[in-house]
Structure 1
């Protein structure tokens, strides 16, 4: 195996593996293919085989993808397109077949007719697609509105044995056609082949709805049964008889047909953008994006936000071996085919923000985490997680347009850009909180909080909207006039009030926080205040008398000279 160069991409891959990979030693029995193929580089190829046997990191590791993938499984931030390239190329490795041999995976359902035996069709892959491992009992296969279904078809011909009187001739046999059905309705077809690839469409607007994709192949046979029949012909002439044997040949055409099919349940995944946007008084931008299906996150030129999902790629173990069926029985051999499937799973770190984003809130249903398949050695959650159906962020002084927001889905190719009408504009204003002392004594102080809109001076009543005022660590609510009066213990000389508004996308209009502080005067402070109030004007008069005395020579300084 040739060594990979120490490129920047490899360095980034190594860093990701150190952070996200969990070294494991549990192994799978089956083998993957011998090495990179189908146009994939080594660096890409070795990251695709989660679930295969892992070992220890080589003592003399050169930091290559092959070394690290041999020791752990590799998570992705997005579904890798390499999976689809691999599957299309791998399908071409289906072994050459003959009329008397049927080659199939061990899990295939076999069908027989009169002369066609061990016939089957197996769905090899649907792509692009992502198996979303949401919870222990929920793992839908998400597919986009348009995609392709890959399959394999094979059979063998079993004509009766030839004897002295009857001969069987195989004239023609073929996979006549392959069709694709969506929920029972034929939507596309192609000429017969052992490795069909059939495109589908028609799942627009079907997000979250289950459908059944069915590949169906029609296999036909044309044969002849040749029968030779003999009979004696005798001619009587007088006292003698003459007999001869005459042969007749009957040719009877024989036809046979068998329809085989395989279905897979998929869930439509048609991503759109919805949510809210606002601008903070200081120029920051607020953004909330939500979906009714799991999604990967969103990005702008200034940064990106990733949801709770990561991805991995693993082979389908049903294709680890192939069964070769003939009239003499079955033999099992290692399969040259290893179809890959992308899966999404919730990660321990949860949603993360990069660049100029700061996450404000993540909301969704609390969900128990799934259990990953055997031998997939990736960090897996053990406690409930929030499915991140909605993510709210604050973006520092954004300079790009809202149409520069790109929302990324769990299925490759499902990313879309926001449109001007997809993110509802919400008003976000400054609030003005003021705090005043109404009364005080040695033990208590009565204060009044006033909360108003800084732009319109309208009262802000917190009792009928999200949000509250924190008055010396105690939550209080303002009334219709935007005020609240409280009597507090004089445990400190400073009283602080802070307005904690609710989320701006849940209130109209939204507000930013504000605060105020007042100081409670005691008798010593009052005495010092009085002295200060008298001392300042007296001091100013003395300074003025001194300056006049020096500038004019008038005998004004010191004022007490004539006393």
Structure 2
């Protein structure tokens, strides 16, 4: 039994280490291919592969875990971009009489040119977000790289004429956004293009190439053909635009709330890089299956074979782990999470993805509030779900000083069966806090959770214009009275919560003792009657002399 416990503990420890792990060592993977990753890092990028269990030849703990399940990350890992950048060098176009393309490529034919295409291999840094059923946008960084493959073949014959190649070239390869050229290179069939400073929002990136060939027919005549080919991809430029609010409590602690309309990873209290706040999103990496195979086309037909290059992407998904803060013991404490209720994210992951995705409805955590004893809104650095994209909160932020609140609770009237409690809520003497709002019922739109209230004995009560509320208690005991203030984000002025206790029991009054005596007396009357009757019976028959 102890051996089993030790084995389970070891596996659990490896899983924890792997889920938190982000490699920094560069090396070779198990097969010896130079992909820029260490052996452990290479094992983590293949979430889309079938999990076959722990292999006998696994050399590291990470390899063993990755073979049995998929590894998730709390931050977008750099491994996807590193693998893709290095693996892209293995992508080879065909020769002059052969074209190589993935099955999803949009090929075009000209007079002399056949099976021509320009296909995007990868856009990075980027993250595919699994938000809901039918909603999986590809977010790209405002500054990044587009890699692609351009290929074509030149026909061997045209009718009864043989064609010999005089020259051929890719004269230009461009990347365009909404028809505007962002970057351009020439004389390459495996272009790497860069873009920068793109404004945020949905857009279309297009990889476009110009091909020019010169051929000579059997009769010695030369002809020139040019062909433009392209591949467009819908993306969303991920540009963080965070808004923050902060409040200072009377005890000196600060509450910070940050809002971001796009999915985001969380934020860091700068200067204390270990003090972090995470939203609902976690990450895994997986290859793009569209590049699992390539087609080789020539005059004799087409063949399909395994691809030597596999682009890997980062994927973000809503995790059952949910929003978190760290460090757990001495770090900020999570106060509130805002967001939109969404569902169906698990349907978008595809086959062979084994991560702790939310099954059903989840909250998008567009806003997260924490309380901290150190740090301020000026220290906040917002981290996006796309690697390398960060932001500071906007300067037009709200800063609130939260006022103290005080509760005064006392019994003003009581009898043997119930007590009336008077509750006073105030900031200072003569400065009542009013919770009841007579205009509330006439407001056509309002947020139900915006109003403060007081709880006692399972009841919610509100103070009147004098800051007073009364409650009737029917059960003796000790009661906690708690003020739940309206959120400081919507209240003006804003108040801190406060708590008071009160004890009530009927025996704490003279009337209570009198009622107890009377009740006991009435309950003893039947016993007294029975006792008196028994004594009289014994006397009548003179039975006592036999006892």
Query: Given the two structures, how large is their TM-score scaled by the length of structure 2?
Result: 0.81
User: CA deviation digits over 1:228-284, x for unaligned, max 9?
Assistant: xxxxxxxxxxxxxxxxxxxxxxx5331101111101100121012212111222222
User: 1:331–1:521: structure 2 CA closer, same or farther, 3 Å change rule?
Assistant: closer
* 1:458 equivalenced with 2:431 (yes/no): yes
User: 1:373–1:493: structure 2 CA closer, same or farther, 3 Å change rule?
Assistant: closer
For the residue of structure 2 that corresponds to 1:462, the secondary structure is coil
Match of 1:126 among 123, 127, 140: 123
| Equivalent-residue separation in structure 1 for 2:49 and 2:464 (angstroms) | 64
Match of 1:472 among 457, 462, 465: 457
In the alignment, which residue of structure 2 is the partner of 1:289?
258
| Equivalent-residue separation in structure 2 for 1:384 and 1:168 (angstroms) | 62
Matches within 5 A, 1:326-341: 326-341=298-313
| Equivalent-residue separation in structure 2 for 1:340 and 1:495 (angstroms) | 59
| Equivalent-residue separation in structure 1 for 2:393 and 2:384 (angstroms) | 13
In the alignment, which residue of structure 2 is the partner of 1:115?
112
Match of 1:404 among 379, 382, 404: 379
Q: Larger radius of gyration, structure 1 or 2?
A: 1
| Equivalent-residue separation in structure 2 for 1:60 and 1:335 (angstroms) | 25
| Equivalent-residue separation in structure 1 for 2:291 and 2:66 (angstroms) | 21
In the alignment, which residue of structure 2 is the partner of 1:436?
410
* 1:88 equivalenced with 2:90 (yes/no): no
CA shift for structure 1 position 527: 10
Decide whether the 8 Å contact of 1:105 with 1:322 is kept in 2.
Answer: yes
Matches within 5 A, 1:279-428: 279-300=248-269, 301=272, 303-355=275-327, 356-370=331-345, 371=347, 372-395=349-372, 397-398=373-374, 400-418=375-393, 421=395, 423-428=397-402
User: 1:310–1:519: structure 2 CA closer, same or farther, 3 Å change rule?
Assistant: closer
| Equivalent-residue separation in structure 1 for 2:277 and 2:193 (angstroms) | 36
| Equivalent-residue separation in structure 2 for 1:168 and 1:442 (angstroms) | 112
CA shift for structure 1 position 439: 2.8
CA shift for structure 1 position 113: 0.3
| Equivalent-residue separation in structure 1 for 2:466 and 2:204 (angstroms) | 60
| Equivalent-residue separation in structure 1 for 2:30 and 2:118 (angstroms) | 23
Decide whether the 8 Å contact of 1:142 with 1:268 is kept in 2.
Answer: yes
CA shift for structure 1 position 129: 0.6
In the alignment, which residue of structure 2 is the partner of 1:553?
none
Structure 1 spans left out of the alignment, 5+ residues? 1-9, 21-31, 228-250, 530-563
CA shift for structure 1 position 306: 1.3
Decide whether the 8 Å contact of 1:278 with 1:427 is kept in 2.
Answer: yes
| Equivalent-residue separation in structure 1 for 2:190 and 2:501 (angstroms) | 76
CA shift for structure 1 position 76: 1.1
In the alignment, which residue of structure 2 is the partner of 1:498?
482
Decide whether the 8 Å contact of 1:404 with 1:418 is kept in 2.
Answer: no
User: CA deviation digits over 1:336-393, x for unaligned, max 9?
Assistant: 1111111111111211222212211112111113222111122232221111111111
* 1:194 equivalenced with 2:194 (yes/no): no
In the alignment, which residue of structure 2 is the partner of 1:184?
179
Q: Which moved more, 1:350-359 or 1:516-525?
A: 516-525
CA shift for structure 1 position 491: 2.5
Match of 1:259 among 204, 219, 228: 228
User: 1:360–1:36: structure 2 CA closer, same or farther, 3 Å change rule?
Assistant: farther
For the residue of structure 1 that corresponds to 2:77, the secondary structure is coil
User: 1:519–1:83: structure 2 CA closer, same or farther, 3 Å change rule?
Assistant: closer
User: 1:96–1:113: structure 2 CA closer, same or farther, 3 Å change rule?
Assistant: closer
| Equivalent-residue separation in structure 2 for 1:496 and 1:102 (angstroms) | 78
Matches within 5 A, 1:125-204: 125-160=122-157, 168-204=163-199
User: 1:368–1:319: structure 2 CA closer, same or farther, 3 Å change rule?
Assistant: same
Structure 2 spans left out of the alignment, 5+ residues? 1-10, 22-28, 438-449, 514-547
User: 1:18–1:100: structure 2 CA closer, same or farther, 3 Å change rule?
Assistant: closer
Decide whether the 8 Å contact of 2:139 with 2:238 is kept in 1.
Answer: yes
Decide whether the 8 Å contact of 1:172 with 1:223 is kept in 2.
Answer: yes
User: 1:442–1:119: structure 2 CA closer, same or farther, 3 Å change rule?
Assistant: same
| Equivalent-residue separation in structure 1 for 2:140 and 2:459 (angstroms) | 51
Decide whether the 8 Å contact of 1:36 with 1:45 is kept in 2.
Answer: no
| Equivalent-residue separation in structure 2 for 1:381 and 1:434 (angstroms) | 45
User: 1:523–1:213: structure 2 CA closer, same or farther, 3 Å change rule?
Assistant: closer
Matches within 5 A, 1:212-291: 212-225=204-217, 227=219, 251-291=220-260
| Equivalent-residue separation in structure 2 for 1:527 and 1:63 (angstroms) | 78
Decide whether the 8 Å contact of 2:139 with 2:237 is kept in 1.
Answer: yes
In the alignment, which residue of structure 2 is the partner of 1:211?
203
For the residue of structure 2 that corresponds to 1:45, the secondary structure is helix
